[in-house]
């Protein structure tokens, strides 16, 4: 696994994958949104507002998927001390936070015509709000240290604690929301959904996954260059110090 | 024509559907653009640093006659 | 085991010497709760209705307030490094620190809770369940908080970071804690809530010493 710890090798691999991921993203999102907007039928209860589902639900999936991905990367980073895993976790966090935010806002926009309010303390939305806060905490902790290595390790531990807690939080919030109000309108009761709605949903979800892959690869590349810049800066400073000492001596 | 307006009206839900899609595009494109700009910036700085590093190494070699072209470097640096 | 007892005893001694800290947490608890009638009005039924929620939220904030000091003094004066070198496993040491923290923060809060229940006109038949829920819930707050405190050692703006890291993880304890008391006040059984609260405590009892010890190790390195 440490084969790809070499930055040059990783960058070569990333450069080979990136064109496919980028083209795949464009194609999947193009087809998915075309189907979602033009082909898929309106819902018999919710009418055309159901089209918000095609961004809301895949965003929610992505927000959860990316947190798990961060947790896996964090475990790899902590156990095998693999440097790329740290970078992958750091690169993923803003993307996950973006999707969580998108889920919240589209949920609110969907909820307005359905519930009549901009915000309802519905179980799913509330869990997503907490997940969004978990992302913010992860990002804040990553950037809270002078020494970036410490930030990586602290954030990795936090991500693992978070991923163990997510099922507990989810369960407790569901329990709480069913105690306080009837079930939500955002029904997505698995197999009963009609194929003409399921296909666009799945294709958009694939597009989001490929988008995530593209952005994460670019961000890791960027982080690798940043690390090299820091090393060069340090070398310049050291060289200057050596020169200064030579002049004084 | 009617079909097109009907499409944009989204059965009366236009105010909710279109902002959702627009926000999706804004967030996803924004994140991608920010990432790309950061990457480009860092690539440029790295290229600059490496170019300068190469120069410095050259200068350490047996120095050419210092009186030959004293202003050569500054002149090059100007756009 | 003896090492653990010594550690807890040392922390308790230190806390007693600075007993002002524990008093401040309790004072914060009562004072903040006393602000709510000014915010929502003194109507007894409303106050009684929201009393469990307010007591829990304010207790949570009081615990939060005390977290930053949990490892900071030991981190700054170097005793944390001693702890790392001692034969006592660091996971146990974390548990010891958490126990000392709970004895000096959680327990005083529980002792002060009946006062708030009276101030808020809470039906005193629910008091037993409230105290039992707090007895099960506040250790969870200390355990999770210890991880947050350990992770932010040496961080820029560590004190502001802790709430951001810890509060989302406090949600289950808050939900089940308030749920238990609400159920008791409505005359329903509080048993499932209390069992869930206990389950959360057990899970945290396993995870947080591991995470806290890992966090301390990387902070010292």
pLDDT above 70: residue C18: no
Chain A nearest-CA distance from B11, in A, is: 6
Residue A43's DSSP bridge partners are A47
CA distance A19 to B71: 45
Report the pLDDT value the prediction gives residue A249, as an integer from 0 to 100.
Answer: 52
Q: Under a CB-based contact definition with an 8 Å cutoff, are residues C33 and C54 in contact?
A: yes
- Best of A136, A168, A169, A170 to mutate (most C CBs within 10 Å, chain C): A168
Neighbors of chain B by Cβ distance (3+ pairs < 8 Å): A
List of residues 6+ apart from C66 with CB closer than 8 A = C21, C25, C101, C105
- What pLDDT, in 10s, does the model give residues B56-67? 555 554 444 444
- What pLDDT, in 10s, does the model give residues C30-81? 999 999 999 998 899 999 999 999 999 999 999 998 898 888 888 888 888 8
Chain A nearest-CA distance from C137, in A, is: 14
Q: Under a CB-based contact definition with an 8 Å cutoff, are residues A178 and C192 in contact?
A: no
Could you tell me the residue ranges of all domains in chain B?
2-58
pLDDT band (50, 70, 90) for residue A132: very high
Residues of chain A with C-beta less than 8 angstroms from the C-beta of C91: none
Higher pLDDT, C204 or A36: C204
Q: Which of A140, A135, A142, A153 is nearest to C160 (CA)?
A: A140
pLDDT band (50, 70, 90) for residue A47: confident
Q: Which residue of chain A is at minimal alpha-carbon distance from C199?
A: A168
DSSP string, C7-24: HHHHHHHHHHHTTHHHHH
Tokens of C62: 């009081």
Residue C19's DSSP bridge partners are none
pLDDT above 80: residue C128: yes
Tokens of A239: 């060289």
- What pLDDT, in 10s, does the model give residues A158-182? 999 999 999 999 999 988 887 765 4
Could you tell me the residue ranges of all domains in chain A?
14-182+192-248
Report the pLDDT value the prediction gives residue A21, as an integer from 0 to 100.
Answer: 95
User: Stretch A77-85: mean pLDDT, rounded?
Assistant: 90
Judge: A172–C155 Cβ closer than 8 Å, yes or no. no
Q: Classify residue C212 by its DSSP letter.
A: H
Neighbors of chain C by Cβ distance (3+ pairs < 8 Å): A
CA distance C148 to C156: 14
- Min mean pLDDT across A74-78, A143-147, C2-6 is at C2-6
Neighbors of chain A by Cβ distance (3+ pairs < 8 Å): B, C
ipTM of the complex: 0.91
- % of chain A residues with pLDDT over 70: 90
Report the pLDDT value the prediction gives residue C68, as an integer from 0 to 100.
Answer: 85
CA distance C150 to C161: 11
CA distance A172 to B15: 34
User: Stretch C123-140: mean pLDDT, rounded?
Assistant: 93
Q: Which residue of chain B is at minimal alpha-carbon distance from A210?
A: B28
Please calculate the CA angle B24-B29-B34 and round it to the nearest 5 degrees: 135
User: In angstroms, how far is CA A202 from the centroid of its own chain?
Assistant: 18
User: Stretch C128-156: mean pLDDT, rounded?
Assistant: 94
pLDDT above 80: residue C96: yes
Report the pLDDT value the prediction gives residue A244, as an integer from 0 to 100.
Answer: 74
Residue A47's DSSP bridge partners are A43
Report the pLDDT value the prediction gives residue B74, as an integer from 0 to 100.
Answer: 41
Give Dmax (Cα) for chain A: 86
Q: Do chains C and B touch (3 or more CB pairs under 8 A)?
A: no
Give the A-side interface with B, CB within 8 Å.
33, 37-38, 42, 47-49, 51-52, 55-56, 59, 94-95, 98, 101-102, 105-106, 109-110, 112-113, 211, 214-215, 218-219, 221-222, 225-226, 228-229, 232-233, 236
- Best of A81, A93, A137, A162 to mutate (most C CBs within 10 Å, chain C): A137
| Highest mean pLDDT, choosing among A20-29, A112-121, B63-72 | A20-29
Judge: C169–A165 Cβ closer than 8 Å, yes or no. yes
């Amino acid at each position: 696994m440490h084969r790809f710890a070499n930055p040059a090798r990783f960058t070569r691999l990333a450069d080979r994958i990136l064109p496919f991921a980028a083209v795949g993203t464009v194609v999947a999102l193009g087809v998915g949104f075309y189907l979602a907007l033009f082909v898929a039928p309106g819902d018999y209860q919710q009418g055309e507002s159901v089209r918000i589902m095609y961004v809301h639900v895949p965003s929610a999936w992505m927000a959860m998927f990316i947190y798990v991905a961060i947790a896996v990367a964090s475990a790899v980073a902590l156990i095998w001390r693999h440097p790329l895993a740290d970078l992958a976790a750091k690169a993923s966090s803003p993307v996950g936070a973006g999707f969580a935010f998108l889920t919240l806002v589209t949920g609110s926009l969907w909820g307005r015509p359905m519930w009549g309010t901009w915000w309802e303390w519905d179980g799913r939305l509330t869990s997503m709000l907490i997940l969004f806060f978990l992302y913010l905490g992860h990002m804040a902790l990553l950037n809270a240290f002078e020494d970036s290595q410490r930030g990586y390790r602290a954030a990795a531990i936090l991500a693992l604690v978070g991923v163990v807690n997510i099922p507990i939080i989810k369960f407790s919030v569901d329990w709480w929301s069913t105690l306080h109000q009837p079930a939500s309108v955002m029904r997505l009761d698995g197999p009963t959904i009609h194929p003409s709605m399921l296909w666009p949903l799945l294709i958009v979800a694939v597009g989001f996954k490929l988008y995530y892959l593209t952005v994460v690869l670019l961000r890791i590349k960027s982080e690798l260059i940043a690390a090299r810049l820091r090393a060069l800066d340090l070398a310049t400073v050291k060289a200057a110090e050596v020169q200064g000492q030579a002049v004084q001596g | 024509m009617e079909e097109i307006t009907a499409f944009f009206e989204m059965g009366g839900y236009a105010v909710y559907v279109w902002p959702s899609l627009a926000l999706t595009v804004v967030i996803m494109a924004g994140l991608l653009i920010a990432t790309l700009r950061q990457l480009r910036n860092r690539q440029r700085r790295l290229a600059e640093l490496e170019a300068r590093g190469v120069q410095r190494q050259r200068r350490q070699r047996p120095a050419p006659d210092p009186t030959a072209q004293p202003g050569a470097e500054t002149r090059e640096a100007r756009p | 085991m003896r090492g653990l007892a010594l550690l807890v005893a040392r922390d308790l001694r230190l806390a007693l010497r600075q007993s002002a800290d524990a008093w401040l947490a309790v004072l914060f608890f009562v004072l903040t709760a006393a602000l709510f009638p000014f915010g929502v009005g003194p109507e007894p039924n409303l106050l009684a209705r929201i009393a469990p929620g307010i007591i829990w939220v304010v207790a949570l904030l009081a615990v939060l307030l005390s977290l930053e000091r949990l490892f900071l003094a030991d981190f700054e004066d170097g005793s944390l490094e001693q702890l790392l070198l001692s034969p006592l496993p660091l996971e146990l040491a974390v548990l010891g620190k958490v126990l000392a923290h709970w004895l000096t923060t959680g327990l005083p809060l529980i002792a002060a809770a009946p006062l708030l229940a009276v101030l808020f006109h809470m039906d005193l038949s629910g008091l037993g369940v409230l105290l039992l829920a707090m007895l099960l819930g506040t250790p969870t707050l200390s355990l999770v908080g210890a991880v947050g405190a350990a992770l932010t050692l040496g961080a820029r703006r560590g004190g502001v970071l802790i709430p951001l890291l810890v509060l989302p993880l406090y949600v289950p304890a808050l939900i089940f804690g308030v749920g238990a008391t609400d159920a008791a006040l409505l005359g329903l059984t509080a048993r499932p809530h209390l069992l869930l609260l206990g389950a959360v405590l057990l899970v945290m009892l396993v995870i947080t010493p591991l995470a806290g010890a890992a966090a301390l190790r990387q902070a010292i390195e």
